[in-house]
Amino acid sequence: MTPVKRRVVRETAALVRDRHKIRPVVLILAPPGDRIGFRAKGTRKTYFLPIHQCYILAVQAHADAMRAARKSHKRSR
């Protein structure tokens, strides 16, 4: 793997409503590589999260989706 040595900024396909406009989300990986930032394109405010928290949120979302799928499958029987 390549370590994050400089700031990497990428525009994503995800859209959010911010200040009455629909804007794409900008993703920022900042050194030393332990934080990930999110902001709406065209704005200055960036919201940072530790990467381990993003991982935990992703695992919880996946578990919730699997639980919901099992529950709907049981109902359809």
C-alpha distances out from residue 41 to 25, 35, 49, 51, Å: 6, 19, 18, 21
Confirm whether 16 is domain-assigned. Answer: yes
pLDDT digits (tens, 9 = 90+) for 1-31: 888 889 999 999 999 999 899 999 999 998 8
77, pLDDT greater than 80? no
Structural domain harbouring 23? 8-76
Give the angle 28-32-33 at the CA atoms, nearest 5°: 50
Q: Determine if the peptide bond prior to 32 is cis (ω within 30°).
A: yes
Residue 33 has a pLDDT of 78
Confirm whether 23 is domain-assigned. Answer: yes
pTM: 0.76
Number of separate domains in the chain: 1
